[in-house]
Copies of this chain bind each other. A is one copy, B any other.
């Protein structure tokens, strides 16, 4: 090969790099390893994580321990889906393009909005993208955001806003729900968009339609972040006046993966179609009249419009969106609704069961679907330690993000959490709280088992 090129060595080819910029030493990294050794090494690291097999997982906060059906892996692991690039050559990418089209259809159905893209990175950055769209659509630079919106979404929106230059105003919660009056007061003629989440971060089902009216009045867009698993039973954002509905797609066919990769979904009204971020597949036909699919509306995109693009996204999360689509097809129309109902019923049981525990009370009484907030009469972190030692991840400590709820615990339910496990959680919470109250005794007891939990 060197002869064909006309050089004596590969080094010659690297001579275009100025000598002082050549590293001239090996990287300070370990030597290469055999496949078996790499496997053992990573298995050893994985063994030091307390995953949902090792600890019964009642943690949610945006990502949930749902059961991912086996066909999702079987299909997403096929080379033909796993290894191609973004479908720039539609003639040889019909599989991926049709999946996008089917996915867009499903997300439009779920959200009740006519336009969906093929997916974005994940939830919070999708919220920030909605802000960018709203600015372009309204030529305004002010966002009014409910504190019921996921803390990560709020922070990400702020990070982006610093860049594209917008102001973010937060509106608090009352009894678990977004404070309607405060919201109405905050929205004005300069407001580009109002951001809500439903169910909100505390699990409460919001009165989206009512809350949204403030946005409508002032010509601001209504952006609703939704948990897709609740859209089988909750009124779709599109029917509540949302201009944009988006969210974290993980509950649909994606594993927890310590937070990613998953996907974000993003749906909007027809008016916004040419301002949408991300890839969009469209139906068309070929020269012989055969039905086919292509990337539509590419005139929005960076590879065509460069600095004038409506967004900078290129590589997104296509494979994760496929997983979501397969999961939805597996559940099917009836199954999807049933799963929603199952979550409501089990969660209602869990909420009552836990509220009845001594030292535990509800943080709010608002209706919920699959997650709810409690108030504990003992330090939350200590209680979590004790539960962890018993092999239970009891929930998400609200103090992490809500100073006003230092005593708050957010508990999530999936179809994997059995009644028996819920009862066990109640038992564990109860005794942990008792122990914590009973001072001294506690201290000695905790640490030891706590370590164990870490293994």
Contact = CB atoms under 8 A, between A and B. Distances in A.
Interface of A: 34-36, 39-40, 43, 53, 67, 69-70, 74, 77-79, 415-416
Number of copies of chain A assembled together: 2
A253 to B, nearest CB: 13
Contacts of A39: 67
Contacts of A34: 415
Nearest to A71: B35
Contacts of A416: 36, 40
Nearest to A414: B36
Given A34-B415, A35-B70, 12 more contacts: A35-B67, A35-B69, A36-B67, A36-B415, A36-B416, A39-B67, A40-B416, A43-B53, A74-B77, A74-B79, A77-B77, A78-B78
Contacts of A77: 74, 77
Q: In this complex, which of A36, A69, A79, A416 has the most chain B Cβ atoms within 10 angstroms of its Cβ?
A: A36
Nearest to A35: B69
Nearest to A75: B79
A416 B416 CA distance: 35
A35 B43 CA distance: 26
Nearest to A80: B78
A415 B53 CA distance: 29
A237 to B, nearest CB: 28
Contacts of A79: 74
A279 to B, nearest CB: 27
10 contacts: A35-B67, A35-B69, A35-B70, A36-B67, A36-B415, A36-B416, A39-B67, A40-B416, A74-B77, A74-B79
A79 B416 CA distance: 28
Contacts of A70: 35
Contacts of A40: 416
Nearest to A70: B35
A53 B69 CA distance: 25
Contacts of A69: 35
Nearest to A415: B36
Contacts of A78: 78
